[in-house]
Structure 1
Amino acid sequence: MNTPATDHADPHANHAPSSHAGHDMSNMAASATLHCLTGCSIGEILGLILATVFGWGNVTSTAVAIALAFVFGYALSSLPLLRSGIGVGQALRLVLAADTVSILTMEVVDNLVMWLVPGAMDAGLLDALFWGSMAVSLVIAYFAAYPVNQALLRRGKGHAITHHASGGGPMDNRPLAYGISAFMLGGFVASLGTLL
């Protein structure tokens, strides 16, 4: 007896998109945004630390922090691609296409907030204003970049490119994000200690 062709069809082919699709998109957008935020945070903090050590002015320190944010953002996105066997050149092309808009959004918002907070750009590493402003600016940058990443993912762009290229492996930056948060909290606490 012949069975109908539909018996062998994909069981999900006739199903309408479920609410899980939107939930997965939200999770992926949050993960992509955290991914970019992690790289941006490392670059921003390192750039401002270097600026303090070398006595650079605000414009130079901002330029270096932005450059380092892109470097670290691209580097973090390249790692899963390189681990999956993709060559360095192809990995770089993929992350440039995937991350540039997200990192750019974060950097514009993050630095704008830092410049708008009175005294934040002139605050030193032992100043609570520096650490507090940095934390606030990064949180605002996250919420600014999240809808950008969500829109890119809906169009199959942004982190969808690297996610598919790496075989769909997870982008778990939580340990690194926790480390950065602890570092910033430590800097804030140390700066409070100087006030006592």
Structure 2
Amino acid sequence: MAVAATLHCLTGCAIGEMLGLVIGTAVGLSTGWTITISVSLAFFFGYLLSTLPLLKSGLALGAAFSLVLAADTVSIATMEVVDNAVMALIPGAMDAGLVNPVFWVGMMIAFTAAFVAAYPVNRYLLQRGKGHALTHEFHGAAAATTGARRYLPSFATSTLVAVLVAFLLGGLLVSVAAELGDGEGGSAPGHAAPAAAWSSGR
């Protein structure tokens, strides 16, 4: 349960993190602003993915969101502190640009570190009936939902993890191909400059 809870939080955080980092890197924002956007979006998507199943089970929006706040906040906060600290500490990761392998490898390392840090936190909370234990009884409960609630999306954690891994590997492969393409094109030693210029909006 602790592994599943951590992966569930990680996927929501990762969606927000990647979106924030992509936005910040693409428009050339400073590291501080990029991290601010990433953290905000990570909390948004982390809460969203946990709230949808509760709404589908029949809980009202206010009750579902209150439950998610109590269940996920500590886990998401732990991931965000570790995730962003690792990205900031990896030389060049925040400023690498979207077509630089350093950016994607840095994200992989940061997400792995976030999982390792959040797992014992979630395990501790579950053992005390807190964290994801608060929402577990509602998971899979297809209560007599009617109307629009019946059509709310419900994403399996395994599916989200698979999509996340595929996206990271895809980004890495594209960036490696771009680097190799630049090299074969006869660019000077600073062949990463076009990528950096593009990512900063120039």
Q: 2:8 aligns with which of 27, 30, 35?
A: 35
1:180 corresponds in structure 2 to 164
How many residue pairs align between the two structures?
169
Measure the CA separation in 1 of the matches of 2:129 and 2:155.
17
Q: Is the 8 A contact 1:95 1:162 kept in 2?
A: yes
2:175 corresponds in structure 1 to 191
Q: 1:91 aligns with which of 39, 60, 64?
A: 64
| Mapping 1:1-196, distance limit 5 Å | 28-166=1-139, 172-196=156-180
- The amino acid across from 1:76 in the alignment is L
Greater relative contact order (Cα < 8 A, sep 6+): 2
Measure the CA separation in 1 of the matches of 2:23 and 2:155.
29
Structure 2: which 5+ residue stretches go unaligned? Answer: 143-153, 181-202
- The amino acid across from 1:51 in the alignment is G
Q: TM-score, normalised by structure 2?
A: 0.80
**How far is the alpha carbon of 1:194 from its aligned partner?**
1.3
**How far is the alpha carbon of 1:53 from its aligned partner?**
2.6
**How far is the alpha carbon of 1:127 from its aligned partner?**
0.5
- Pair 1:74–1:98, CA change in 2 (3 A): same
Structure 1: which 5+ residue stretches go unaligned? Answer: 1-27
- The amino acid across from 2:115 in the alignment is Y
Measure the CA separation in 2 of the matches of 1:116 and 1:166.
37
Q: What root-mean-square deviation, in Å, do the aligned CA atoms of Structure 1 and Structure 2 show?
A: 1.6
- Rg (Cα) greater in structure: 1
Q: Is the 8 A contact 1:31 1:171 kept in 2?
A: no
Identical counterparts, % of pairs = 54
- 1:130-169 deviation per Cα after TM superposition (whole angstroms, max 9, x unaligned): 0000001101110110000000001100000011244668
Q: Is the 8 A contact 2:19 2:38 kept in 1?
A: yes
**How far is the alpha carbon of 1:195 from its aligned partner?**
1.6
Q: Is the 8 A contact 2:26 2:97 kept in 1?
A: no
- The amino acid across from 2:11 in the alignment is T
- 1:164-195 deviation per Cα after TM superposition (whole angstroms, max 9, x unaligned): 24466898311111011101100000000112
Q: TM-score, normalised by structure 1?
A: 0.83
